[in-house]
């Protein structure tokens, strides 16, 4: 049989803090639920009764009571999770950002502005950082840098004789008759 698990004896400060969080309307829901488990245990309810009251699994209730007994109210907070390690080091990300903020002509490159493809190629060939253009865009956006869109040919033309210089769009397009106003 599993031994009876209860919250340890609380100090008056801990008791007040647990009660406030357990009955809070503004605290995070998961922290409030965890504090509520501890508060119910402090009130003398068994793990089974707490499980029925809060609608959580027996193991979950036991976990949070144990964590509270070990770490107090801080034990109810989420712990850092492992997860996948970062693909690029902070130095590589810093190199990317510094390069993207520098004029390409200072590196002796024949173009006046970066594109994601040019930046990816330069980082790979010159700096030895193999990074995909999509990841470059994500990193720059996360840093608050907005990538400029390519200028288009739509809108007003700076050259008034542009249409005449351009010529017909295709051989099958007939010229529009000019109307006199």
Q: Is the pLDDT of residue 2 over 80?
A: no
Helix (H) or strand (E) holding 36: helix 29-42
CA distance 169 to 153: 14
Residue 22: pLDDT above 90?
yes
pLDDT category at 71 given cuts 50, 70, 90 is very high
Answer yes or no: pTM beyond 0.95.
no
Rg (alpha carbons) of the chain, rounded to whole number: 32
Confidence of residue 43 (pLDDT cuts 50, 70, 90): very high
Least Cα distance to 119 among 145, 144, 87, 85 occurs for 145
CB-count burial class (<10 Å; 0-12, 13-18, 19+) for 115: middle
pLDDT at 173: 65
22 or 174: which leads in pLDDT: 22
Residue 130's Cα: distance from chain center in Å? 22
Residues 18-24 have a mean pLDDT of 94
What are 78-126's pLDDT values in tens digits? 988 888 888 999 999 999 999 999 999 999 998 888 889 999 999 999 9
- Residue 38, pLDDT above cutoff 70: yes
- List pLDDT tens digits, range 116-170: 999 999 999 999 999 999 999 999 998 888 766 555 555 555 677 766 777 766 6
Question: How far apart, in whole angstroms, are the C-alpha atoms of residue 91 and residue 98?
Answer: 10
Residue 180 reports pLDDT greater than 80: no
């Amino acid at each position: 049989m599993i031994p009876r698990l209860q919250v340890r004896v609380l100090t008056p400060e801990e008791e007040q803090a647990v009660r406030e969080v357990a009955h809070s309307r503004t605290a995070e829901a998961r922290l409030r639920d965890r504090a509520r488990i501890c508060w119910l245990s402090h009130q003398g309810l068994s793990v089974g009764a707490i499980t029925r009251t809060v609608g959580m699994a027996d193991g979950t209730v036991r976990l949070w009571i144990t964590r509270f007994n070990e770490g107090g109210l801080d034990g109810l907070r989420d712990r850092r999770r492992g997860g996948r390690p970062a693909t690029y080091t902070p130095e590589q990300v810093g190199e990317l950002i510094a390069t993207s903020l520098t004029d390409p002509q200072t590196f002796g490159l024949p173009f006046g502005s970066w594109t994601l493809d040019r930046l990816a190629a330069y980082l790979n060939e010159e700096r030895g950082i193999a990074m995909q253009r999509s990841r470059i865009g994500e990193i720059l956006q996360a840093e608050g840098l907005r990538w400029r869109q390519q200028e288009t040919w739509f809108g007003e033309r700076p050259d008034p004789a542009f249409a005449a210089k351009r010529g017909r769009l295709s051989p099958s397009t007939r010229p529009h008759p000019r109307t006199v106003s």
